[in-house]
A and B are shown apart, each in its own frame.
Chain A
Amino acid sequence: MLKRKPLYSTLLYLAVICLVVYLIAPFLWLIIMSFSSANDLTQKPLRWIPSKLDFSSYKDLLTMGINSRGELFVNALRNSLTTAFIAVFVSLLVTIPASWVLSRYPGKKSWVLTTAIFTFMLPPVAYALPLYRMLTRMGWLDNSVSLALVYCTIVLPFCVWLIKANIDSIPYELEESAIIDGAGITKRILLVVMPLLLPALGTVSLLALIMAWDEYFYALLFTSSKEAITLPVVIANLASGRQSNYNLIAAGGVIASTPPVLIGVLFQRALIRGLVQGGVKE
């Protein structure tokens, strides 16, 4: 390798340091705030390093008492998980067979794929009003299952887009030899395509889970109590209150970020490959 000029190296490392500070400083500060006492965070000038580690905000949010903040928060945590898993499960269940048809018989019903991708681009406000009326009329507001079904508007188009691109990359010859051996459609999908699709399905599910975990708009509209309210709504409500429990807000944020950040760190490569694949193929 060529020896680099010292000026170049200096500039390079300077840029890298700036980048690292930019990447971690805001979130690091959120973590520090979450371990500070409320008193430390309302000093002027600000105390950058807490006088002592204070875990009370985490304890506050994660202890279940009747009608306490902890009860709402823990319920929201559970609801967020339930809603995200149901939405992704339903989406995968219906998109896998459909994606197979769209991939293997591109001429047939290609409008289905176009429609799916198109809906990905529309603002949720375009569906929210009738959905709200329908859920009210049926008494399905504030319900994790109906919220999960509504989440399919976001998750499903995304899944078809990526899963179809992934089936495209599985050679059709494999299925042809299965046909010669007398395999029907069910066997072709379950025994030939599925095993090869599994890694990609893992990636797509993780991306879709993060997507559903992140959703705020529908949850804000359709949930109101501990029965179905999700974490983003609870956190936004915490922050919009008049009181200055900054450490509590920060702790809520850190807890809500933990699952997606862990998934991100553990599966970074696969996630990026999954995201890029869908688009570049076209």
Chain B
Amino acid sequence: MVTKGTRWYSLLLAPMMLVMGAVIGWPLIQTFVLSFTDSQLMDASQPTFVGFQNFIAGFKNQGFHDALKVSALFALVVVSSEMVLGTGVALLLNEPFRGRNVVRALLILPWAVPTTVNAIMWRLIYNPEYGALNSLLFQLGFIEKYISWLGSADKALGSVMFADVWKNFSLVAMIALASLQSLPDSQIEAAKIDGANALQRFRYITLPHLIPSLQVALVLRIIEAVKVFDIIYVMTKGGPANKTRSGSIFVYQEAFTNSRMGSGAAYAIIMVCLIMILIAFYLRGISRKEN
């Protein structure tokens, strides 16, 4: 059905679709094609088709399994901490106290600090010899000797997670606070008159009001966290002993450090499929709730 109108609308959509096609659609298809070849980073010769070999090797690779586990663990711990901390802080900043506006304004600071700056900032704080954290804990008598926070296999991931929570809990807190401010006081007052205690007021009035915006924050954060690359890469480069190597870092190393483009593309496609499954579960969860 081609009417004059339809042509107009297509014309308005066309520039965006052109850009999306060039920088999103086409590369995605190319990644898919590459994943079936033995293409190398620096080799200009025609790559050979290798079928599902890259995928079979990928599913068997223990290093990749570990990297996916790191991504999953990172996303789970970081996002749940940010949600709990962010909601708590929003509730706190919704209570009246002196200087509340100043504290509310400060809330934007962690969010506004660029991710790489956040990463180097915490690297400096965690520095094993001259870092502020070691010095502080030592001077307060909590530790006997300095700890290598990012250098020890059992502490590195936790330390990176702590740095990520500092930056990103503030986004959750700001979104939740905005939602709390739109909750009319009269509802809370009415519940008080009906004899509801603080806990009941939270459970039956505040929380249901908060949930839609918390969901937005949750989705935004999960999307960011499962594809995590920069904060980990700047802080530890995936080490020590690959204990902080996330899925994205694994793919990056396979394609650009080991120069195996084809195999790297296959890992990228596997990651894309896993993220799509995650999105599908989320969408199903939403539609079930609505029914």
Chain A residues with CB under 8 Å of chain B are 1, 12-13, 15-16, 19-20, 22-24, 26-27, 29-30, 33, 41-46, 90-91, 93-95, 97-98, 100-102, 105, 108-109, 112, 115-116, 118-134, 149-150, 152-153, 156, 160, 185, 210, 213-214, 216-217, 220-221, 231-233, 235-236, 238-240, 244, 246, 249-250, 252-253, 256-257, 260-261, 263-265, 268, 271-273, 275-276, 278-280
Residues from chain B with Cβ under 8 Å of A134 in the complex: 27
B234 contacts partner chain A, Cβ-Cβ < 8 Å: yes
Chain A residue nearest in CB terms to B122: A26
In the complex, the answer to whether A246 meets B124 with C-beta atoms within 8 Å is: yes
Please measure, in the bound complex, the distance between the C-alpha atom of A93 and the C-alpha atom of B129, giving whole angstroms: 50
In the complex, the answer to whether B219 meets A105 with C-beta atoms within 8 Å is: no
Please measure, in the bound complex, the distance between the C-alpha atom of A232 and the C-alpha atom of B118, giving whole angstroms: 11
Across chains A and B, which 5 residue pairs bring their CB atoms closest together, nearest first?
A: A279-B216, A130-B30, A264-B112, A123-B227, A98-B16
In the complex, per-residue mask of B253-286: 1 if CB is within 8 Å of any chain A CB, else 0: 0011000010011001101100100010000000
Distance to closest chain B CB from A188 (angstroms): 11
Please measure, in the bound complex, the distance between the C-alpha atom of A94 and the C-alpha atom of B23, giving whole angstroms: 14
Given contacts A123-B275, A260-B113, 20 further A-B contacts (CB under 8 A): A19-B89, A29-B125, A30-B117, A41-B130, A44-B129, A90-B19, A101-B13, A121-B223, A123-B226, A126-B31, A126-B272, A127-B27, A130-B34, A131-B27, A153-B23, A217-B252, A236-B116, A253-B121, A256-B117, A279-B219
Known: A45-B139, A98-B15, A122-B275. A279 touches B9 (CB 8 A): no
B24 contacts partner chain A, Cβ-Cβ < 8 Å: yes
In the complex, the answer to whether A119 meets B24 with C-beta atoms within 8 Å is: yes
In the complex, the answer to whether B108 meets A246 with C-beta atoms within 8 Å is: no
Distance to closest chain A CB from B29 (angstroms): 8
Please measure, in the bound complex, the distance between the C-alpha atom of A152 and the C-alpha atom of B132, giving whole angstroms: 38
In the complex, the answer to whether A272 meets B27 with C-beta atoms within 8 Å is: no
Residues from chain A with Cβ under 8 Å of B34 in the complex: 129-130
Please measure, in the bound complex, the distance between the C-alpha atom of A260 and the C-alpha atom of B119, giving whole angstroms: 16
Stretch at the interface among B49-57, B173-181, B200-208: B173-181
Residues from chain A with Cβ under 8 Å of B120 in the complex: 235-236, 238-239, 249, 252-253
Count residues of B near A (Cβ-Cβ below 8 Å). 91
Please measure, in the bound complex, the distance between the C-alpha atom of A30 and the C-alpha atom of B20, giving whole angstroms: 39
Please measure, in the bound complex, the distance between the C-alpha atom of A35 and the C-alpha atom of B129, giving whole angstroms: 20
Residues from chain A with Cβ under 8 Å of B9 in the complex: 101, 105, 108-109
Distance to closest chain B CB from A93 (angstroms): 7
In the complex, the answer to whether A152 meets B23 with C-beta atoms within 8 Å is: yes
Residues from chain B with Cβ under 8 Å of A256 in the complex: 114, 116-117
Residues from chain A with Cβ under 8 Å of B142 in the complex: none
Known: A235-B117, A246-B130. A273 touches B135 (CB 8 A): no
In the complex, the answer to whether A265 meets B130 with C-beta atoms within 8 Å is: no
Residues from chain A with Cβ under 8 Å of B256 in the complex: 132, 221
CB pairs A–B below 8 angstroms (20 shown): A16-B99, A22-B166, A97-B13, A112-B16, A112-B17, A122-B227, A124-B229, A129-B30, A130-B27, A149-B19, A214-B115, A216-B233, A236-B120, A249-B124, A253-B117, A264-B112, A265-B112, A268-B174, A272-B174, A280-B212
Name which of B109, B271, B275 has the most chain A CB atoms within 10 A of its CB: B109
Residues from chain B with Cβ under 8 Å of A46 in the complex: 130, 132, 135
Known: A239-B120, A246-B124. A129 touches B130 (CB 8 A): no
B76 contacts partner chain A, Cβ-Cβ < 8 Å: no
B144 contacts partner chain A, Cβ-Cβ < 8 Å: no
In the complex, the answer to whether A30 meets B121 with C-beta atoms within 8 Å is: yes
In the complex, the answer to whether B132 meets A29 with C-beta atoms within 8 Å is: yes
Please measure, in the bound complex, the distance between the C-alpha atom of A216 and the C-alpha atom of B34, giving whole angstroms: 24
Determine which of A12, A15, A94, A149 lies in contact with B16 in the assembled complex, contact meaning CB atoms within 8 Å. A94
Please measure, in the bound complex, the distance between the C-alpha atom of A132 and the C-alpha atom of B275, giving whole angstroms: 23
Residues from chain B with Cβ under 8 Å of A19 in the complex: 89, 92, 103
B95 contacts partner chain A, Cβ-Cβ < 8 Å: yes
B238 contacts partner chain A, Cβ-Cβ < 8 Å: no
Known: A19-B89, A30-B121, A123-B248. A232 touches B108 (CB 8 A): no
Chain B residue nearest in CB terms to A271: B108
In the complex, per-residue mask of B84-109: 1 if CB is within 8 Å of any chain A CB, else 0: 00000100100111010001011111
Chain B residue nearest in CB terms to A41: B130
Please measure, in the bound complex, the distance between the C-alpha atom of A231 and the C-alpha atom of B261, giving whole angstroms: 27
Determine which of A120, A185, A239, A264 lies in contact with B109 in the assembled complex, contact meaning CB atoms within 8 Å. A264
B230 contacts partner chain A, Cβ-Cβ < 8 Å: yes
